[in-house]
Amino acid sequence: MNKSKHLKAAYEAIGTETSYSVAEALKLMLKHSKVKFDATAEIHFTLGIDPRHADQQIRSTISLPNGSGKTVRVVAVCADDKEKAAKAAGAVEAGGEELVDRMSKGWTDFDALVATPDMMRVLAKAARTLGPKGLMPNPKTGTVTPDIEKVIKELVAGRLEFRNDKFGIVHTVFGKLSFGEDKLLANLEAMIKAIQDAKPSGQKGVYIKKLTINSTMGPGIKINLDTDAE
């Protein structure tokens, strides 16, 4: 009951149709977070793309200036001689065909998967399990690479992958409220720039149609990017 009262009061103070500058929206998000745990800062972009077209897909990565605050469990698919180095870099599991067999049988207890190029042929047998969960390594996001140690370290440090859903919306995070205003602002601005830089060449018309941020269980706050451009 209290949660709904807090949310109702927050929306009355913020306004459901009012939009704010990036800095103002962030201040409001912090002010109206009422949970007793370290809430996650979330961001949602409604984009003017047509996800049915391959040339309008959004899929990229970002290393936020202050990390994401998420604990990322990384698994590496690689040859035997790279397993030790992969685990030393931070992978929770590393291996070849036996590991892929586990995945093909439904094991997906991890957040990110990296693979060396020579193992993609082996990994194909688990594609039916990994693909729908967005876990299949992809050269576009750097998760298919001969230098898996470097990528594992980046992922563990908080590198995020973001992609649009079937409605043309990108949902992701930009930190924890415990980071404080300055660090969150730097992360938020970096995330917005990453989406702007990822604009597909085939996209026409308004690109970012709607932008909203919120904390876990907090109110959605609209951002007007034109306010910051003035």
Q: How confident is the model at residue 140 (pLDDT cuts 50, 70, 90)?
A: confident
- With respect to residue 147, please indicate whether it lies within any of the assigned structural domains: yes
86 and 34 in a common domain: no
| pLDDT, position 227 | 60
What pLDDT, on the 0 to 100 scale, is given for residue 161? Answer: 83
Look at residue 7 and tell me if it is in a domain: no
Check pLDDT > 70 for residue 8: yes
User: What is the reported pTM?
Assistant: 0.74
Residue 20 CA neighbour count, 13 Å, CB half: 18
Contact 152, 76 (CB under 8 A): yes
> Over the stretch 58-108, which tens digit does the pLDDT of each residue have?
988 888 999 888 888 999 999 999 999 999 999 999 999 999 999 999 999
Q: Are residues 153 and 167 in the same domain?
A: no
**64 in the same domain as 175:** yes
Same-domain check for residues 126 and 90: yes
For 102-137, write each residue's pLDDT tens digit: 999 999 999 999 999 999 999 999 999 999 988 999
d(C-alpha 44, C-alpha 220), whole Å: 9
Residues 191 and 168 in one domain: yes
Domains of the chain: total: 2
How would you write 121-158 as a 3-class SS string?
Answer: HHHHHHHHHHHHHCCCCCHHHCCECCCHHHHHHHHHHC
Closest to 82 measured CA to CA, from 154, 138, 146, 159: 146
Enclosing domain of residue 123: 74-157
Domain boundary among 111, 138, 157: 157
Q: Is residue 171 part of a domain?
A: yes
23, 95: one domain: no
| Mean pLDDT value across residues 149-157 | 91
**Is residue 51, in this structure, part of any structural domain at all?**
yes
The model's pLDDT over 157-211, given as tens digits with 9 standing for 90+, comes to 888 889 899 999 999 999 999 999 999 999 999 999 999 999 998 888 999 999 9
Q: Confidence band (pLDDT; 50, 70, 90) for 229? A: very low
CATH code assigned at 217: 3.30.190.20
Among residues 157, 182, 202, which one ends one of the domains?
A: 157
Pair 80, 152 in one domain: yes
Q: Are residues 105 and 86 in the same domain?
A: yes
pLDDT at residue 72, rounded to an integer: 87
Let me know: does 118 contact 79? Beta carbons within 8 Å.
Answer: yes
Does 129 share its domain with 86?
yes
